[in-house]
Amino acid sequence: MKVNFEKEGVNVIKMDITVPAKEAQTAYDSAVRRFAQYVNIDGFRKGKAPKNLVERNIGIDRIKAEALENLMPALIRDISAENNLDLITQPVISSYDFELGKDLKVTVRAEERPEVTLGKYKDLTVNVQAAAMPQDAFDKALENVLNQYAAEETVTDRAAKDTDIAVIDFDGSVNGEKIQGGEGKNYTLDLKNSTFIPGFAESITGHKTGEEFDINVTFPKEYHDEKLKGQPAVFKIKIHELKEKKLPELNDEFAQKLGPFKTVADLTADINKFLESRKEQADKQNSENEVYKKVIDASKVDIPQSMIDREVASMKEEYKARLAQQGVSWEMLLKSQSEAEIINTLTEDAKQRIRNSLVIDKIAKVEELKLEAKDLEQKFTEISAAYGMQPDQLIRQFGQNPEFLGTVSQQAVNDKVRDFLMTNNRVVMIQPEPQKTPKPKPAKKTAKKVAK
């Protein structure tokens, strides 16, 4: 076998391959036998028809195409291994000359992995801003626990407070035109934790059950619907019911209901432990991100447009799938955002994703961080836990999917490179400045008249 190489563009390689006539004939004959296994030819059982009848029924050109399809993968593997090629796309046959009894000539094109020039990626000192723990973190965490066990009591003798829950009808309009999706019946709204537009929940406080009234609000300038951005709106409101949250009493008996706690002090310690672990996880994530960023920013890579286009196309399909899970179609999205804006955002994300992947793979290659069976087993265990199934179930369901296996392998490589970088670089955590509680201003002294 002979191969001539020619570079085309940044990373496209053209290969003119000459396959000896004998090898080409063997591939052709194998294709004939495969077709003979299922072709129906009168007077012959499947697999028993003579070659000339199979050729007549199937067509010589189709048999040649089948022979090429089965011959090329092994040829490309051998060529890649012998010439140290690192291909990132399946080679595409652009032309071939397949005349039986003569050498087979095939021209294929494929993309090589772009060259990555690593900057310094070991022995770095990276400063990382430690995650700040809000002063009220414990109070909020405890409040969340109490709220989970809160009772709701209907109130009829007063107006709504900002801590109540209101059951309402609402119907919104902008400039007299109804807002699509801007109405609801018997909607339960937590006035303290509302995710509605600013001013909506606040405008309900002060009103009583049975009241019907209008509220005036303004959509945020960054609202996702182009038609509603910054627009004043009117909502007709009717309150059906008001409910007041009654938090349970924080005592030892309540703590014992929540878990293996005997006292409020035990519960308090557990909440503090949870908050600390969350901070540690945030610090760990921030450290990894900052180390990655410093390593990737120091590297140089010229990403071909073809790679970006493929990644954008893939990310667009992922985006559509996520939207579909939320009941939103691509067409619905385009009513609030132009496709050009979406593609521009995806393009920037695609460039970063490709750059990260190329640099990670380069480090893995240079440092010879090879995958072992235990690495894949660990990754399968993590993914199966996320899916809520056993690892063997996951393997049975997805184990034959090359795309899934490729994704799992890439994630395992990423983990090895991440561990390598965190081991071989020094992270300095910069603690946030303690929040100072403002001191109360001293009361002004007033002069006293002294009686004479």
In a domain, 169, yes or no: yes
**pLDDT tens-digit series, residues 252-271:** 999 999 989 999 999 999 99
Please write the tens of the pLDDT for every residue from 195-232: 899 999 999 999 999 999 999 999 998 887 778 889 99
Instruction: Assess whether 403 and 304 both reside in one domain.
Output: yes
Per-residue pLDDT, averaged over 125-146, amounts to 92
Q: What is the pLDDT of residue 448?
A: 38
Last residue in a domain, options 224, 246, 268: 246
Same domain? For 415 and 306 the reply is yes
Q: Are residues 106 and 181 in the same domain?
A: no
Q: In the prediction, which pLDDT does 47 show?
A: 67
Question: Is the model's pLDDT at 438 over the cut of 70?
Answer: no
240 with 159, same domain: the answer is yes
230 and 296, same domain (yes or no): no
Domain around 58 = 2-113
* Same domain for 313 and 202: no
pLDDT at 435: 58
Q: Are residues 85 and 216 in the same domain?
A: no
Report if residue 333 sits inside a domain: yes
On whether both 176 and 87 belong to a single domain, the answer is no
For the question of whether the overall pTM of this predicted structure is more than 0.95, the answer is no
Is residue 254 in some structural domain?
A: no
Domain assignment of residue 125, yes or no: no
CATH number of the domain enclosing 217: 3.10.50.40
State the CATH number of the domain containing residue 22: 3.30.70.1050
Is residue 264, in this structure, part of any structural domain at all? no
Please give the tally of structural domains in the chain: 3
Query: Do 356 and 306 share a structural domain?
Result: yes
> Is pLDDT of 10 > 80?
no
Give residue-wise pLDDT tens across range 85-110. Answer: 888 888 899 999 999 999 999 999 99
Claim to verify: residue 301 and residue 387 sit in the same structural domain = yes
Q: Are residues 93 and 199 in the same domain?
A: no
- The closest of 355, 332, 327, 353 to 342, measured between CA atoms, is 332
Q: Are residues 86 and 29 in the same domain?
A: yes
pLDDT of 359-409, one tens digit each?
A: 999 999 999 998 888 888 888 888 888 878 887 877 777 767 777 788 888
